[in-house]
């Protein structure tokens, strides 16, 4: 006959309790993001300000696993400046073949198709990208389709490629060098700050923020396309409204790869400003949607936001106030507030 043994019951319950604790700790670890995620492009584990790992897309949208605590070598840290930025000029006279303008070498301006009285558009890519990455020809071609403009694509791939933490540390200097370059260009060859529009995607959004502030806030317009979120919360080097006469942000992956908070004069939250954007099946797609939406609005100027009373209204796409068109290439555009809107899932959205 079986005999009840309190000690064995205690051991059994103890073991069960320990197993449950292990499971609980594992779940907590996963939720806080210290576990390494294994599904490419899936950032469902990510907790802003807590997680160590996140999937980020490169310039062609391919996800890469990023360690937000990866150490940066002393050599990389010492070299993190924008002296190696390249500036590629495109115009309707050379719409696909860039002319390289070298800072300090005026002959590279005189031998180019730069025309001082044209609008000047400056495009800056993000992490693990370069001057040929997808956003650059997309936005460049949209501008040249509707405007006779000088379009400068900034290639900062010397620092953008490699560790995200190293690229992050390079952002302020890359932006300051860019601000100094545009100042030199206008002072040397002519131009008007009221015709200057900076556009930056992800880390590039913070670069144009630094560039605009370096130029004394003179650019007529600065647009941040889903400004990078990881490591940028509360950062004084992030894009803000001091970067230009009018600063706009378009948020499409807020709380993951992008900042969700209001940071500009006008902040647009298409489809709630978060992942997933319509038609996106992995979260890294939502981040890239910002520059796709912007390019479409440059060409068609068709997406209007409605003024919101709060970010929560924008997130729920429940805004009903006055309208302001999102994006577009109109350098004199002005506005203020939080705006929400809905888009479709394919071009031109």
DSSP per-residue string spanning 69-119? T----HHHHHT-SGGG-EEEEEETTEEEEEEEEPTT-THHHHTS---TTS-
So what's the pLDDT on residue 19? 41
Q: How confident is the model at residue 35 (pLDDT cuts 50, 70, 90)?
A: confident
> Mean pLDDT, to the nearest integer, of 315-333?
97
**In whole angstroms, what is the distance from residue 134 CA to residue 295 CA?**
11
Of the residues 226, 253, 265, 267, only one is catalytic, namely 226
Of the residues 51, 173, 202, 266, only one is catalytic, namely 202
User: Which of 262, 243, 144, 135 has its CA nearest to residue 197?
Assistant: 243
So what's the pLDDT on residue 16? 46
So what's the pLDDT on residue 99? 98
Inter-residue contact 30 to 51 (CB < 8 Å): no
So what's the pLDDT on residue 7? 46
User: Which of 205, 200, 204, 348 has its CA nearest to residue 270?
Assistant: 348
> Does 334 or 5 have the greater pLDDT score?
334
226 is catalytic: yes
Inter-residue contact 54 to 125 (CB < 8 Å): no
Which two structure tokens, joined as six digits, stand for 293?
A: 């939406």
> Mean pLDDT, to the nearest integer, of 285-303?
98
So what's the pLDDT on residue 34? 65
CA angle 127, 263, 227 (to 5 degrees): 15
> Mean pLDDT, to the nearest integer, of 59-71?
96
> Mean pLDDT, to the nearest integer, of 172-180?
98
> Mean pLDDT, to the nearest integer, of 38-46?
94
> Mean pLDDT, to the nearest integer, of 1-7?
48
> Mean pLDDT, to the nearest integer, of 241-255?
98
Maximum separation of any 2 CA atoms in the chain, in Å:
103
173 is catalytic: no
> Mean pLDDT, to the nearest integer, of 32-49?
86
> Mean pLDDT, to the nearest integer, of 243-272?
98
So what's the pLDDT on residue 69? 97
So what's the pLDDT on residue 5? 54
> Mean pLDDT, to the nearest integer, of 244-248?
98
Percent of the chain with pLDDT over 90: 87
Q: How confident is the model at residue 101 (pLDDT cuts 50, 70, 90)?
A: very high
> Mean pLDDT, to the nearest integer, of 4-12?
48
User: Which domains are seen in the chain, by residue range?
Assistant: 69-341 (3.40.50.1820)
> Mean pLDDT, to the nearest integer, of 195-202?
98
Inter-residue contact 212 to 180 (CB < 8 Å): no
Q: How confident is the model at residue 301 (pLDDT cuts 50, 70, 90)?
A: very high
Which two structure tokens, joined as six digits, stand for 298?
A: 């440059």
Would you call the peptide bond into 276 cis, given omega within 30 degrees of 0 as the criterion? Answer: yes
- Judge residue 189's burial from the number of C-beta atoms within 10 Å of its C-beta, 0-12 exposed, 13-18 middle, 19 or more buried: middle
Asked if residue 17 has pLDDT above 50, the reply is no
Q: How confident is the model at residue 139 (pLDDT cuts 50, 70, 90)?
A: very high
Q: Which residues contact 73 (CB under 8 A, 6 or more apart)?
A: none
> Mean pLDDT, to the nearest integer, of 106-117?
98
């Amino acid at each position: 006959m079986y005999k009840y043994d309190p000690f064995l019951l205690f051991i059994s319950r103890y073991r069960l309790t320990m197993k449950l604790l292990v499971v609980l700790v594992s779940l907590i670890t996963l939720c806080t993001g210290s576990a390494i995620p294994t599904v490419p492009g899936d950032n469902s584990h990510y907790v802003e300000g807590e997680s160590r790992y996140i999937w980020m897309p490169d310039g062609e949208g391919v996800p890469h696993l990023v360690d937000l605590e990866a150490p940066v070598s002393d050599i990389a840290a010492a070299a993190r400046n924008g002296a190696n930025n390249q500036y590629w000029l495109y115009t309707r006279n050379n719409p696909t073949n860039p002319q390289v303008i070298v800072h300090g070498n005026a002959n590279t301006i005189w031998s180019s198709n730069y025309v001082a009285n044209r609008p000047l558009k400056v495009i800056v890519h993000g992490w693990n990208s370069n001057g040929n990455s997808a956003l650059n020809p997309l936005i460049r071609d949209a501008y040249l389709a509707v405007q006779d403009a000088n379009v400068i694509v900034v290639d900062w791939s010397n620092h953008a490629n490699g560790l995200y933490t190293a690229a992050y540390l390079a952002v302020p200097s890359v932006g300051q060098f860019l601000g100094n370059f545009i100042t030199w260009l206008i002072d040397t060859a002519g131009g008007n700050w009221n015709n200057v529009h900076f556009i930056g995607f992800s880390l590039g959004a913070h670069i144009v923020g630094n560039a605009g502030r370096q130029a004394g806030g003179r650019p007529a317009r600065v647009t941040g396309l889903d400004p990078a979120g990881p490591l940028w919360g509360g950062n004084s080097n992030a894009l803000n409204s001091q970067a230009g006469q009018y600063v706009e942000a378009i948020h499409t992956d807020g709380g993951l790869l992008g900042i969700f908070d209001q940071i500009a004069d006008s902040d647009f939250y298409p489809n709630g400003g978060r992942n997933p954007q319509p038609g996106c099946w992995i979260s890294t797609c939502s981040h890239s949607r910002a520059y796709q939406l912007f390019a479409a609005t440059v060409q068609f100027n068709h997406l209007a936001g409605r003024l919101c009373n709060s970010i929560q209204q924008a997130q729920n796409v429940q805004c009903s106030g006055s309208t302001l068109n999102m994006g577009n290439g109109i350098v004199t555009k002005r506005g203020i507030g939080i705006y929400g809107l809905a888009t479709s899932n394919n071009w031109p959205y």
